[in-house]
Amino acid sequence: MSDNMNDMDQIQLFNDQGRLLNAGLPDEEKALFCDAAPQVDAPYRGIWEKFLNWARSESLWILGFGTGCGAIELRPLMTSRYDMYQYGVQPRPTPRQAGLFIIGGYASVKTMKRIVRSYEQMQGPKFVLGLGSCTVNGGMYWDSYNTINRLDHYIPVDVYIAGCMPRPEALLAGINELKKLIKEGKGENANKYAENFEWYKRNQKKIIKDWNMPDYNW
């Protein structure tokens, strides 16, 4: 987690007390938002954590945010033909209720800002599924001035699914893979985000030029 970050070192995120600066907010709004950075939640011990992981994996609630073309294959999943409810998956309208964020392919800078905000608002443990080529290495829009190339530079990604677009079945297979990971206790990316918060935040701020939201939204 180090490449070409030198030019970003001058961006200051914290003040002397280790609180977030929230530099993008107007002064009168600063008091309205929290200035704490995210914390790592240590897992519980033994069987209890296993039970929790089982419960988490069997009720994956998707955030209903169609960020890119991938959203089009989410819609059939919600219908009776594929019936994703049988896998314990259902869409939720708000980040507060959702645990799984499906990034539907490419993310333009403007959407990336909303993705970051929605992702941070989700409750941990939270998981991210990257759909298609675009989230891996830019995909079809590898040379576009307005889409990111690598999603894992901005938010941690649990599972990638190949395709453009991946079919609904591939999406389901991806969700099954994610369930397996969670049950094995490997779905720790919310903690990874908290641990490497500065790195992620600097990457995000490098591309999102008008940062007019709190440094950490929750």
Partner 1 sequence: MSLKDIIAPFSVWKRALEKPYTNRKPIETRPGADRYRGFHQNAIDQCIGCGTCEEICQNNAIDLVPLEGKTSSHGDSGLRPKIDYGRCCWCALCVDICPTGSLGMSNEYIWITTDPEDFRFIPGGESKPWDDRAEGYRRAEGYDLLEAERVEMPMLSFEESQKSFIEMVQGYSKEQAMEEADRCVACGICIATCPAHMDVPAYIEAIRNDDMGEGLKIVYNANPLPASCGRVCSHACEYVCAMKHKGEAISIRWLKRYIIDQIYLGDYKEILKSADESNGKKIAVIGSGPGGLSAAYYLRLLGYEITVFDANEKAGGMLRYGIPEYRLPYEQVDKDVEYIRQLGVTINQDLKIGVDRDFKSLYDEYDAIFFSTGLKDPYGLEIAGEDLPGVQSGLDILDEVTKGKTPDIGKSVVVVGGGNVAMDAARTSRRYGAEVTILYRRREVDMPADEEEIHESQGEGCKLVTQAIPLRVEKGDSTRLKLFFGMAEMVDQGEGQRPKPVLIEGSEEVIECDSVITAIGQEADYSFIPEEIGKNLVFNRGMVQINEFRQTGDSKIFAGGDIANRKRDAISAIADGHSAAKGIDIYLTNFKEK
Partner 2 sequence: MTEFNELSRQFQISDLKEQRADLHFFHASKEHAVAVLTSLKEKYGYTHLVFFTVVDHLEKNEFHLTYMLHNYEKHHDMGVVVKIARENVQMESIHHLWPAAATYQQEIREMYGVEFPGSPGLYENFALEGWEDIPPMRRDFDTKEYSDKTYYPRPGRESHDPREYMKENLYPGEAETW
Partner 3 sequence: MVKEKENSKFPPLVDGKSQYDLTSGKYLRVWQGPQHPGITGNMSLELTICGDEIIDCKTHVGYLHRGFEKLMERRKYIQCFPVVCRICVPEPDFNEYLFAACTEELAGIQIPERAEWIRTLNLEMARLTSFLMWIGGQAGSFGMGTIGQWTVTLRDYMLDLFEELTGGRIYHMYMLPGGVRADFPPGWINKLLDTLKTVEKTLDDVELAMMHNAVFKMRAKGLGIITPDMVDKYGITGPNARAAGVARDIRKDSPYLVYDKLDFEIVTGTKSDAYGRCEVRIKEMYQSIDLIRQIVEKMPKEGPFFTKLPNVLHWRIPAGHTYKRAECTRGEYGFYVQSDGSDKPRRTYVRGPSYTHAVALMEHLAIRTNIADTAGLMVSLHTYPPEIER
Residues that bind partner 1 (CB under 8 A): 79-83, 86, 130, 133, 135-140, 142-143, 150, 152, 157-164, 166-170, 172-174, 176-177, 181
Q: Using CA atoms, how far apart are residues 24 and 35, in angstroms rounded to an integer?
A: 12
12 vs 86 by CB, closer to partner 1:
86
**Minimum CB separation from partner 2 for residue 42, in Å?**
31
Placement of tokens 């991946």 in the chain: 166
Given 96, 110, 167, 186, the residue binding partner 2 (CB under 8 A): 110
113, 116, 90, 101: which is closest to 66 by C-alpha?
101
Q: Using CA atoms, how far apart are residues 47 and 153, in angstroms rounded to an integer?
A: 34
Q: Using CA atoms, how far apart are residues 46 and 21, in angstroms rounded to an integer?
A: 38
Residues that bind partner 3 (CB under 8 A): 63-69, 71-73, 75-76, 78-81, 91, 93, 95, 106, 108, 110-111, 114, 118, 140-141, 143-147, 164-165, 167
- Residue 206 in the binding site for partner 2 (CB under 8 A): yes
Peptide bond into 165 cis (omega under 30): yes
Number of residues that bind partner 2 (CB under 8 A): 23
**Minimum CB separation from partner 3 for residue 78, in Å?**
8
CB atoms within 10 A of CB 131: 31
Tokens of 14: 């914290």
3 vs 16 by CB, closer to partner 2:
3
4-63 binders of partner 2 (CB under 8 A)? 4
- Residue 196 in the binding site for partner 2 (CB under 8 A): no
Given 142, 162, 167, 186, the residue binding partner 2 (CB under 8 A): 142
- Residue 210 in the binding site for partner 2 (CB under 8 A): yes
SS3 category, 114 = helix
Residues 6+ positions from 170 with CB-CB distance below 8 Å? 161, 162, 163
Residues 6+ positions from 9 with CB-CB distance below 8 Å? none
Binding stretches for partner 2 (CB under 8 A): 3-4, 109-110, 113, 136-138, 142-150, 153, 206-210
